[in-house]
Amino acid sequence: MGEKVVFGDVYRNKKVLVTGNTGFKGSWLCTWLISLGADVYGISNEIPSTPSMFVELGLADKMKHFFADVRDLVALKEIVNDIEPHFVFHLAAQPIVSLSYSEPIDTISTNVMGTANVLEVLRTYTKLCTAIIITSDKCYDNVEWIYGYKETDAVGGKDIYSGSKGAAELIFKSYYHSFFKKEGGLVQIASARAGNVIGGGDWALDRIIPDCMRSWSEGKVVEIRSPKATRPWQHVLEPLSGYLQLGERLYKDHELNGESFNFGPKPEYNHTVQEILEDMSVRWHFENSKEAYQITGDIKFYEAGLLKLNCDKALFHFQWKAALDYKRLLEYTSDWYYEFYKNKGDMFAYTKSQIEGYENLATIGNIGWTK
């Protein structure tokens, strides 16, 4: 049996730029790209949390990182032109819904103008490049119907965060039609939408899993706001596999230029907040879930009760689908934090082992990006 090849080996020895590389998803993506043999670069304006996955994995020593703000067009253009990347994954954003209520202008400027600046730099870029613009499932105008949102559904939202993500998608669409639609262009772009991602290494505030892990590592009870809220839970590697596969396919097939794709779990993976906490608390050896969490009525901001994605388009175009079942989703997430807090292991090596295990499961499942 030959050596396993994923994503057509297109990232090996390529220069790949990740904006927002110090964040949770960005750190996982950079680690995966490093394992794929890519020459990885990153742009971010800060280390967003303490602890930080970027710091705990020692990624500053394994890639080239630039401290810069994507809202600074001059600095961004200088860095990109200096790197001359073959691929760009734009993840830099203000990602916290609760923070958008206290800092709406910062949220809008980062998520909208930051995206516009990346596209503006790419508009004048004079090398071949494949760029994936990542927004969020919250870009959709959520009317809380029971159906999964398709890429053609209306964007927008009732809160600042959702509005900023919807606006970013509109900016992407207008830039594509104005500047990138022409045949034979040097730069190909696509957008990707995913949400409610969990996994080891997330320490953001006001997110249910990080809040639990911080509390449980200290033997404390965690407070939850909306126990019946249903979310399409997925491990961070699921959408990242979609982003990487979309990058591969767009690199090879320019017919996907300007397209948008959803990446989410199977519908049967939808669970309430209460269900996932009860299941996850078992792995942290709580004998009674009441020792793990308690419900509070302190609802600080509007939260949608139901939001899920229809991912048929990604399945049709490149046979993408989720690889982890619900049990493994919990195992991957809980085990990472347990390794960090209790075993205090080599987290870069442990993260790479989870990526390798995920690749093996995807190969067994005959998922498109493993062929």
CA angle 293, 54, 35 (to 5 degrees): 110
CB pairs under 8 A, 24+ apart, for 351-358? 351/28, 351/31, 351/57, 351/200, 351/201, 352/31, 352/35, 354/200, 354/237, 355/31, 355/32, 355/35, 355/237, 356/35, 358/235, 358/237, 358/241, 358/323, 358/324, 358/332
Strand order across the beta sheet in which 64-67 lies: 64-67, 39-44, 15-19, 87-90, 129-134, 187-193, 260-262
pLDDT at 267 over 60: yes
Of 149, 157, 150, 117, nearest in space to 133 by CA? 117
Find the range with the poorest average confidence among 48-57, 78-87, 307-316.
307-316
Looking only at the bridges linking them, the beta strands covering 39-44 and 64-67 are parallel
Residue 216, by phi and psi: left (phi above 0), alpha (psi -120 to 50) or beta?
alpha
The sign of the torsion formed by the CA atoms of 217, 331, 50, 165 equals negative
pLDDT at 2 over 60: no
Which of the two residues, 95 and 13, has the higher pLDDT score? 13
- For residue 306, name the pLDDT band (cuts at 50, 70, 90): low
Backbone φ, ψ for residue 197 (5° rounding)? -85, 135
**pLDDT digit string, tens, across residues 199-222:** 999 998 878 888 888 888 888 888
pLDDT at 174 over 50: yes
pLDDT at position 287 is: 67
pLDDT at 304 over 60: no
CA angle 254, 260, 261 (to 5 degrees): 105
pLDDT at position 146 is: 77
**pLDDT digit string, tens, across residues 337-371:** 989 998 898 999 999 999 999 999 999 999 999 98
**pLDDT digit string, tens, across residues 15-51:** 999 999 999 999 999 999 999 999 999 999 999 999 9
pLDDT at 79 over 60: yes
- For residue 1, name the pLDDT band (cuts at 50, 70, 90): very low
**pLDDT digit string, tens, across residues 268-289:** 667 888 888 888 888 777 766 6
The sign of the torsion formed by the CA atoms of 261, 266, 271, 276 equals negative
Q: How far apart are CA 166 and CA 163, in angstroms?
A: 5
Question: How many CB atoms within 10 Å of residue 220?
Answer: 12
- For residue 305, name the pLDDT band (cuts at 50, 70, 90): low
